[in-house]
Amino acid sequence: MGYSEIQLYYKNVTAEVVGEEHGITSEQFKTIAQKTKPLILKINEERKNGKIPYRELPYKIEISQQVEELVGQLHYKCENLVVLGIGGSALGNIALQTALNPYMYNIDQEQRTGPRLFVFDNVDPPQFVSFLDWLGEGLEKTIFNVISKSGRTSETAAQFMIIRQLLLDKLGPESLREHVVATTDAKQGTLRKIADESNLRCLEVPDGVGGRFSVLSAVGLFSAAMCGIDIDSLLAGARDMDRRVSCEDFYKNPAAINAAINYHFYNQGKKISVMMPYRYALKDLADWYRQLWAESLGKREDLAGNEVLVGPTPVKALGATDQHSQVQLYREGPNDKLFTFLQVENFDKDLKIGPSPDCALELDFLADKDLSTLLNSEKIATEYALIESKRPCLTVLFDKINAYCVGQFIYLFEVTTSIAGALFNINPYDQPAVELGKEATFALMGKSGSEDFARQIRSLSEIDESFLV
């Protein structure tokens, strides 16, 4: 078996496999196909009218050219690349690095073709202090890529303000241009203002592309290219998937089928969506998907303004690790989940398991087998066990993990999200609920003009001693 493209396998969600109560019958599949088909056309039309700008990213050759040019200028003098960003300004960068570079990339010089990569997507002081202590004099050979579309995200702004001061103190005002790349909006926002004022090197977050849909722009491409990832293949894979997910024949469109199945099971009470890769390299793509799915589909209102409170809860798991952590629940707990496995056919590196010790011949079944055979057998075994418990399972099949397949995967799930958004009749591109928390943080941190709001929040957070134990 070999796959030149990633493929979606959906037989194991059908009633034929998991039974009528928990599977999708052919009648139900036809019904959901009828509902989804016009939405493929609608989305294709919206895209044609420029309303879904992320769809064009794989074709924006000028972005990859600009990225490559900057990489050419900075690569030779950079031993460490530090990404400062959060949410959609970090998760794609982490996912590409974990998927496409070796596990020991940062530790082993032999295994890397670019700088070490660190992505700080939190404001955890001991974590940052530990890093800066380690960095020491290495600051001189470090590039900081601050990524923020708005520039006013507290976490990213705070990290950047620490680094900016450090650079000014240790290396002087000229160092900002040498050591910082700002990825932000082309025209507006706080980071744009800072970048213009300090004459920083800049890359753009394209207009109309939200953070979680931006990994195939300079947001994700710069750190990837700096670290030796083949961004041309990544984009070529996305273009290949674009052809498939634009297809108006529902039965040939993997994003439409994926979205439709997810939507159907959500409405059948399976409101939790578990993504479980069986390769460590894919674990952060599951994390990226978790944000894409949650922020895009978790919405209070539909497009007509009715309160709907919808959204599947995405969960990430890792095979085989989480077989020993989650599978008990997955098999015997509530039947409220749809599973999506990620399975890889070919491994670029493998190991033979050694012979069994004479005193432990019961381990002989493992002896001399490939480790990849064990991992993939565990995937099949877990899926078998879930099916036996009537749990519906999808699988995304990868021929191998390379930039081309990862580009396909990213685009497949982005378009799946757009179609799922249309099925739920919500706007998948905004995140109004995140804004309130951001504003509340500004107020608590003393932003002027927010004093009343800060008082209101503080009164809610005062500790009521009678509830303390």
End-to-end CA distance of the chain: 59
Name 241's Cβ contacts closer than 8 Å, sequence gap at least 6: 5, 6, 254, 407, 408, 409, 411, 412, 415
- Count residues binding ligand PA5 (CB under 6 A): 14
Q: Nearest-CB residue to ligand PA5?
A: 211
SS3 319: coil
- Tell whether residue 183 is a contact of ligand PA5 (CB under 6 A): no
Nearer CB in complex with ligand PA5: 146/338: 146
Quote the tokens at residue 363: 């381990």
- Tell whether residue 115 is a contact of ligand PA5 (CB under 6 A): no
At its nearest, how many Å lie between ligand PA5 and the CB of residue 29? 32
Instruction: Specify whether 438 is catalytic.
Output: yes
- Tell whether residue 290 is a contact of ligand PA5 (CB under 6 A): no
383, 14 Cβ separation under 8 angstroms: no
User: How far is it, in rounded angstroms, from Cα 195 to Cα 428?
Assistant: 30
Binder of ligand PA5 out of 43, 57, 86, 274 (CB under 6 A): 86
- Tell whether residue 148 is a contact of ligand PA5 (CB under 6 A): yes
- Tell whether residue 223 is a contact of ligand PA5 (CB under 6 A): no
What is the β-pairing status of strands 307-310 and 201-205?
unpaired
- Tell whether residue 145 is a contact of ligand PA5 (CB under 6 A): no
- Tell whether residue 192 is a contact of ligand PA5 (CB under 6 A): no
Alpha-carbon distance values, 340 to 4, 114, 395, 406 (Å): 20, 33, 5, 16
SS3 277: strand
Choose among 3, 10, 5, 56: nearest CA to 33: 10
Single out the segment in contact with ligand PA5 by CB under 6 A; choices: 32-40, 84-92, 117-125, 238-246: 84-92
Torsion of CA 392, 239, 219, 312, to 10 degrees: -20
Name 271's Cβ contacts closer than 8 Å, sequence gap at least 6: 312, 313, 336
Single out the segment in contact with ligand PA5 by CB under 6 A; choices: 117-125, 165-173, 207-215, 354-362: 207-215
At its nearest, how many Å lie between ligand PA5 and the CB of residue 185? 8
Binder of ligand PA5 out of 164, 212, 264, 391 (CB under 6 A): 212
**What are the start-end ranges of the E strands in 201-359?**
201-205, 272-277, 299-301, 307-310, 313-316, 337-344
Instruction: Specify whether 378 is catalytic.
Output: no
- Tell whether residue 210 is a contact of ligand PA5 (CB under 6 A): yes
Binder of ligand PA5 out of 23, 53, 58, 87 (CB under 6 A): 87
- Tell whether residue 428 is a contact of ligand PA5 (CB under 6 A): no
Instruction: Specify whether 141 is catalytic.
Output: no
At its nearest, how many Å lie between ligand PA5 and the CB of residue 198? 18
State the catalytic residue, choosing from 378, 438, 439, 447: 438
What residue ranges bind ligand PA5 (CB under 6 A)? 86-89, 148-150, 153, 156, 210-212, 295, 431
Active site residues: 295, 324, 438
